[in-house]
Amino acid sequence: MRNVKIFEESEKYMPGGVNSPVRAFKSVGMNPPILKSGNGSRVVDEEGNEYIDFVASWGPMILGHNDEDVIKAIEDMLKNAISFGAPTEIELKLAKHMCETLDNIDMIRMVNSGTEATMSAIKLARGYTKRDKIIKFAGCYHGHFDGFLVEAGSGVLTEGIPGSPGVPEASVKNTLIAQYNDLESVKMLFEKEGNEIAAIIVEPVAGNMGVVPAKPEFLKGMRELCDKYGSLLIFDEVMTGFRVAYKGAQSVYGVKPDLTTFAKIMGGGLPTGAYGGRREIMSQLSPMGPVYQAGTMSGNPVVMAAGYAALTKLYENPKYYEHIEEIGTLLKEGVEEIAKEKGLPIVINRCGGMITLFFTKESKVETYEDVKTCDTDLFTRYFKHMLENGIYLPPSQFEAMFIGVKHSKEDIEKFLDVLRKF
Ligand code: KE4
């Protein structure tokens, strides 16, 4: 009973026993396994139970746990450096690699989390346009920055919190809410106050209400609105970057954002984030320009070494994405077959290695309204059954599960067998 013993003691010293709310498994009403080790597609808890891991640290571990190249890069860097707070060559190598291998990044700034990336991108957009208002979408989550905690997704949606205490009205009065995949709802806001809108921030494939891919005309239409009103289009690719394709969702849709935010995969499993885009915008950032953003651990050499190892490995092995596409298709088709066979109300949305099984009677899930029709009690029963049978999933209907390079066809067959028993 080590899992319970450890978790109960954790609850004494850390609020909810965790350092990030979704990990507490509150929404599924159970104590979480305490994980001890990971290897490839597997994780093992403190009681020796092994699971096939479809959480992947909420996205970062696309190469699988204990990747030998990432580990070696970290070990080699540690021989010389942990942290200096000074320029290093390794941060240049990662920055240069991202600017050269991604399509719409002239310059990039490293930070320490996805939230830091998105809040900094918003500040930069406001500084560059000299406007205050931003548009975000109900059900999308861009981190815990005050200005975003309005009808957010992920843990805010999972916990059913309308916003969050501690966020003054002043912090959200400049945040306008539109509806995902509903271009009209965006157009209306621009017609009303377009010349005050600094930016739109959007998940080009939503992952935080569960996976809901954008309709192509939705993203294209927002690009045109931003061009018309002089606002910036920010793609939050914290989850989709290096996930739905190496070059992210923007390469899948062929829509060019002005700024892009990254995190998760780009750190190889260590804490990091970044934002980047057109030179004329990025050059507004201190010390080059007047917009101030800073960070003691930004560009940490050990983190940069891990990220550089991960991204170069992904870039040099395009067949990794073919593998993910192949087993992702296997999973989707298998789930649809079982749902039909057993009369299970499931809609499965997938984009690359990002997948969500929605427990809804609807025939499709394309909007936040569709998402809200889900039966979270049925999801909870599914979640518990899968966990008891060695399948480790995100403990929320409003999250994405992830498949990566080290997931095998056998892993997918096991998932489908356990689902069939459910
Ligand atoms: P972090 O600050 O948690 O590194 O990143 C915030 C963030 C920003 N943008 C998108 C699209 C994101 O998905 C996230 C964080 N994702 C959640 C999972 N849906 C992190 C899990 C957690 O909160 O523990």
Query: With a 6 A CB cut-off, is 114 part of the ligand 1 pocket?
Result: yes
Q: Higher model confidence: residue 159 or residue 369?
A: 369
Q: What is the pLDDT of residue 281?
A: 98
Q: What mean pLDDT, rounded, does the chain reach? A: 96
Q: CA 84 to CA 12: how far, in whole Å?
A: 34
CA distance linking residue 262 with residue 113, whole number of Å: 9
- With a 6 A CB cut-off, is 358 part of the ligand 1 pocket? no
Confidence of residue 35 (pLDDT cuts 50, 70, 90): very high
Q: Which of 123, 133, 264, 313 is catalytic?
A: 264
Summarize pLDDT for 398-413 with one digit per residue, the tens. 999 999 999 999 999 9
Output the pLDDT for position 160.
63
- pLDDT tens track for 143-193: 999 999 887 788 877 776 656 888 888 888 999 999 999 999 999 999 999
| C-beta neighbour count of 373 within 10 angstroms | 14
Task: Give the max Cα distance, the chain.
Answer: 61
- Ligand 1 centroid to residue 397 C-alpha, Å: 15
Q: For residue 57, is pLDDT > 90?
A: yes
The residue-averaged pLDDT of 54-67 equals 98
Average pLDDT over residues 50-68: 98
DSSP line for 171-226: HHTTEEEE-TT-HHHHHHHHHHHGGGEEEEEE-SEE-BTB-EEPPHHHHHHHHHHH
Pairing of strands 175-178, 232-236: unpaired
The pLDDT value given to residue 155? 80
236 lines ligand 1 (CB under 6 A): yes
pLDDT at 279: 97
Rounded Cα–Cα distance for residues 268 and 317 (Å) = 15
Does 240 contact ligand 1 (Cβ within 6 A)? Answer: no
Homologous superfamily of the 2-66+318-420 domain (CATH): Aspartate Aminotransferase, domain 1 (3.90.1150.10)
Residue type, 335: V
| 208 within ligand 1 shell (Cβ under 6 A) | yes
pLDDT in tens, 311-343: 999 999 999 999 999 999 999 999 999 999 999
pLDDT attached to residue 162: 58
Q: Which atom of ligand 1 is nearest to the CA of 203?
A: 11
Q: What is the pLDDT of residue 119?
A: 98
Best of 14, 26, 58 for a ligand 1 pocket test (most atoms within 8 Å of beta carbon): 58
**pTM score of the predicted model:** 0.97
pLDDT (0 to 100) of residue 161: 62
* pLDDT in the model for residue 174: 93
Query: Closest residue (by CA) to atom 6 of ligand 1?
Result: 143
Distances (CA, A) of 29 to 379, 399, 401: 12, 16, 19
pLDDT band at residue 216 using 50, 70 and 90 as cut-offs: very high
Q: Tell me: pLDDT of 310 over 80.
A: yes
Cβ-contact 348, 336 below 8 angstroms: yes
139 lines ligand 1 (CB under 6 A): no
Is the model's pLDDT at 305 over the cut of 70? Answer: yes
Q: Among this protein's residues, is 321 annotated catalytic?
A: no
143 lines ligand 1 (CB under 6 A): yes
Testing ligand 1's pocket by substitution, the residue of 115, 158, 262, 401 carrying the most ligand atoms inside 8 A of its CB is 115
Kindly report the CATH number that applies to the domain delimited by 68-315.
3.40.640.10
pLDDT band at 264; cut points 50, 70, 90: very high
% of the chain beyond a pLDDT of 70: 99
| Known catalytic membership, residue 141 | yes
Task: Give the DSSP H/E element, type plus range, for residue 253.
Answer: helix 249-253
241 within ligand 1 shell (Cβ under 6 A): no
Residue 195 has pLDDT above 90, yes or no: yes
Distance 53 CA to ligand 1 centre (A): 18
Residue nearest to atom 20 of ligand 1 (CA): 58
Residue ranges per structural domain of the chain:
2-66+318-420, 68-315
Q: Kindly state the percentage of the chain with pLDDT values over 90.
A: 94
pLDDT (tens digit per residue) in 72-87: 999 999 999 999 999 9
